[in-house]
Chain A
Amino acid sequence: MDKKNLPTPEVIDRIDKEWPPLRKALLHLAAKHASLQEAEDIVAQSFRGIRSGSRVWDPEKEPDFAIFAGMVVVSNAKHWRVEAFNRRRDRGAFDETAQRRVAGVGASPEQIAILKQEFTRAFETAFRKGSLEDRLFEAIKRGINHPADQAKALGVTVEQIRQLVARVHAVCNRIIQEGSKS
């Protein structure tokens, strides 16, 4: 156990109080990614992890415990699911047409090279102004994929990261859609 992350008794009290009303929602979230028995295990494991401090809940940075708990359950469910890699690969980024265009699938080698250049240029242009959105895009590109780590890297709260991700996602989607039409 990581003692430095051990929740204070006050935080444990809040976890114990706020967890029971969330049970059904958390179970439903877990069951989207796992079998029934595994879903129950995942929810229990998430409770254990949050309560022990291995998944750190900082009420100052992330006041909404329900969102935090939900994200922990989804994260655990995805990790516990052995087929996660295949599922992610199958789902593809953005719509399929756009994904094929970004990847250049189904095009000649020359077209692939041009398409990749076009998309890379479009994304570089969109995310080079140094705004928080741009910095988040770069952080994710560097492999910083945990909201708490992203928040630390950008000097913002986790809640702000959630909003920034939505905006970055919208920008990416627009670029992909525009690229698909060209």
Chain B
Amino acid sequence: MTPEKKPLTLEETLEAIKEQHEDYEDVKAVLAMSSEELDKKLVEQGFDLATLDARAEAREAEIRREQDSPARKPWSKKLIALFTAFCTLVGVAATHAIDVLWLAGPALPTVAFTAPPELRHEAFEACGKMQWASCIAKLDEAARTDPEGDKDPEVQRARAFAKKQLALQVP
């Protein structure tokens, strides 16, 4: 729910109504275009139709993989919880070995196990909300424990874009 803002002036209200109406009309008009018309428009805009679909499909597949990956499924959280409980039990059993208890303590659980994909997902969410600094911080944090995953083109593109936007925000 968007919080209520300061009341708009009459001009701002009219502009908001016009913009909302025009956006909708624009979307309707574009959706009504035939495939040939869209191809023509996209070529006019400078897109390479030969590679367009393949690129889009690859990115969407990556998003699906990331969002549907086991790391995001509830059962994996249960697995982590079981793993944590197991570590704790081992620690309790070795009551005389303080160092083992320390290893099995609360520091063990989830961070290294799930952090990078989860963090990257949160980073993309932050980017989507234009929270550029948070987006970059989360990507960097994920990169520290998973440098390989950081080489993913989408991750690199997101970081570059967020940095660019952040730089533009600085007065």
Contact = CB atoms under 8 A, between A and B. Distances in A.
B130 interface: yes
Contacts of A149: 1-2
B17 A172 contact: yes
15 contacts: A1-B121, A25-B30, A28-B33, A36-B47, A44-B60, A67-B31, A71-B27, A74-B26, A102-B10, A116-B10, A119-B10, A142-B8, A168-B21, A169-B21, A172-B18
A162 B23 CA distance: 10
B19 interface: yes
Contact of A143 (B7, B46, B121, B157): B7
- Which secondary structure characterizes the binding site on chain B? helix
A103 interface: yes
A143 B5 contact: yes
A99 B13 CA distance: 12
Nearest to A136: B17
Given A27-B42, A123-B10, 15 more contacts: A28-B33, A39-B45, A44-B154, A45-B128, A67-B31, A79-B130, A93-B14, A119-B10, A140-B8, A140-B16, A143-B7, A147-B20, A149-B1, A169-B18, A172-B17
Contacts of B4: 142-144
Interface stretch (B50-58, B81-89, B143-151): B50-58
B93 interface: no
Interface residues of A, number: 66
A48 B23 CA distance: 21
B11 A142 contact: no
